C-alpha cells in the first residue's frame, strides 16, 4: 500500500521525498505535484495521513499512493494540448494535475462509476479553482467528470492521446483499452497486477513496458443498458465543450482544436463572470496537435484500489 518514501510534513516535503526516491523525475511533473495539494482531496478527519506514501480509501472515495501517481504521471509523458481520458477518475486529484500540464487547448475527460464520487470530485475541483494560488502560474484544462462504466465505450468512438485506467485490467480487456488510443498515444494501466505503459507506434503496432507490481481492484463489469449508454453519450459529448480560463479574463468554449494555422477552429471568448469560474496564466508556451473526441465517445469507469505489491 505504498510506503516507498518517507512521510512529509506538508505537500512540498512529500514531493521532495518523491524526487529523492526518483519517483518524480521531470520538472513538469514536479511542478504539477507541487501545484495541487494532496491533502485537499482528503476528508478533513483524515488529512493527517495525506502526506504519507500510502493509499487511502473511505467508502467509494479512494486515492492511490503518491509513488503510484508519480509513476503514472511520468509514464504518460504529458504535453500541452493533448487529449486525456481518465478511466475511474475518482476524486479528480490526478485529473487536476494533468489539467495543469495540458493547458487551454487540451481535453481532460474523467469517467467514474460512482455518482457520489463524482459529486465529491466536483466539490474538490471547485475548491481548487477558488483557492489555489497555482493559477498565478498556470493555464488549466478543467476536467469534466461523467458517470459510467469504462467497458461501455462504443467501438467507433474517437481516440485519445493519453489514457489512464485506475482499475485492474485483465488480459481479455487489453485490446479494448488499446482501441481507445490514437497512433502515437500512450496508455497506462494496471494489467494483470503490473502497472504497464503501452505506446501505440502504428495502427497495429505497440510497445509495452512493465513499470512496477501493483494491486488494483478489478474493473466492474457493466450492466448492459442501451438507455444508459445513450445518456452517457450525451454527458460525455457535453463534456467536450469544456472550458479553460486564462488571465486574459476570457473563457474559451468549444472542443479542442488542432494547433497551428493550417487547422483553424473558431473559439468564442466569454467575458469573466458569465457563469464561469476564473482560472489564470500559463505553464508552458505552445500546444500539441490533437483530434477532437467526437460525440460517439461513451463513458466508462471503474473504481480504483491501487496498492504496490
- pLDDT value for 238: 54
- pLDDT value for 246: 42
Using 50, 70 and 90 to split pLDDT, how confident is the model at 96?
Answer: very high
Residue 282 pLDDT more than 50? Answer: no
- Cα–Cα distance between 298 and 167 in angstroms, integer? 18
Per-residue pLDDT reduced to its tens digit, 204-262: 999 999 999 897 888 788 776 555 554 554 555 555 544 444 433 333 333 333 333 33
Domain boundaries, the chain: 71-308
For 71-308, give the CATH class.
alpha beta
Per-residue pLDDT reduced to its tens digit, 109-124: 999 999 999 999 999 9
State the catalytic residue, choosing from 64, 70, 95, 132. Answer: 64
Average pLDDT score, the chain? 77
* pTM for the model: 0.76
Mean pLDDT, to the nearest integer, of 72-94?
Answer: 97
Could you confirm whether 230 is annotated as catalytic? no
Amino acid at each position: 500500500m505504498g510506503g516507498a518514501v518517507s512521510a512529509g510534513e506538508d505537500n512540498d516535503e512529500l514531493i521532495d521525498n518523491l524526487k529523492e526516491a526518483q519517483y518524480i523525475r521531470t520538472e513538469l511533473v514536479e511542478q504539477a505535484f507541487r501545484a495541487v495539494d494532496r491533502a485537499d482531496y482528503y476528508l478533513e478527519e483524515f488529512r493527517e495521513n495525506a502526506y504519507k506514501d500510502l493509499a487511502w480509501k473511505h467508502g467509494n472515495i479512494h486515492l492511490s499512493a503518491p509513488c503510484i501517481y508519480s509513476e503514472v504521471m511520468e509514464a504518460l509523458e504529458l504535453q500541452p494540448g493533448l487529449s486525456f481520458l481518465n478511466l475511474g477518475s475518482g476524486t479528480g486529484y490526478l485529473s487536476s494535475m494533468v489539467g495543469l500540464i495540458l493547458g487551454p487547448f487540451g481535453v481532460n475527460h474523467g469517467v467514474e462509476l460512482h455518482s457520489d464520487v463524482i459529486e465529491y470530485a466536483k466539490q474538490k475541483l471547485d475548491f481548487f479553482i477558488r483557492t489555489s494560488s497555482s493559477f498565478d502560474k498556470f493555464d488549466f484544462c478543467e476536467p469534466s467528470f461523467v458517470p459510467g462504466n469504462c467497458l461501455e465505450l462504443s467501438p467507433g468512438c474517437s481516440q485519445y492521446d493519453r489514457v489512464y485506467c485506475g482499475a485492474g485490467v485483465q488480459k481479455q480487456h487489453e485490446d479494448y483499452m488499446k482501441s481507445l488510443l490514437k497512433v502515437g498515444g500512450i496508455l497506462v494501466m494496471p494489467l494483470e497486477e503490473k502497472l504497464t505503459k503501452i505506446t501505440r507506434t502504428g495502427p497495429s503496432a505497440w510497445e509495452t513496458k512493465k513499470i512496477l507490481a501493483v494491486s488494483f481492484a478489478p474493473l466492474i463489469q457493466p450492466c448492459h443498458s442501451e438507455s444508459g449508454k445513450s445518456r452517457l453519450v450525451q454527458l460525455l459529448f457535453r463534456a467536450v465543450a469544456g472550458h479553460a480560463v486564462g488571465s486574459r479574463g476570457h473563457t474559451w468554449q468549444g472542443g479542442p482544436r488542432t494547433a497551428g494555422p493550417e487547422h483553424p477552429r473558431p473559439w468564442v471568448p466569454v467575458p469573466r463572470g458569465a457563469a464561469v469560474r476564473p482560472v489564470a496564466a500559463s505553464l508552458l508556451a505552445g500546444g500539441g496537435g490533437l483530434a477532437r473526441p467526437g460525440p460517439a465517445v461513451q463513458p466508462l469507469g471503474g473504481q480504483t484500489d491501487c496498492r504496490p505489491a
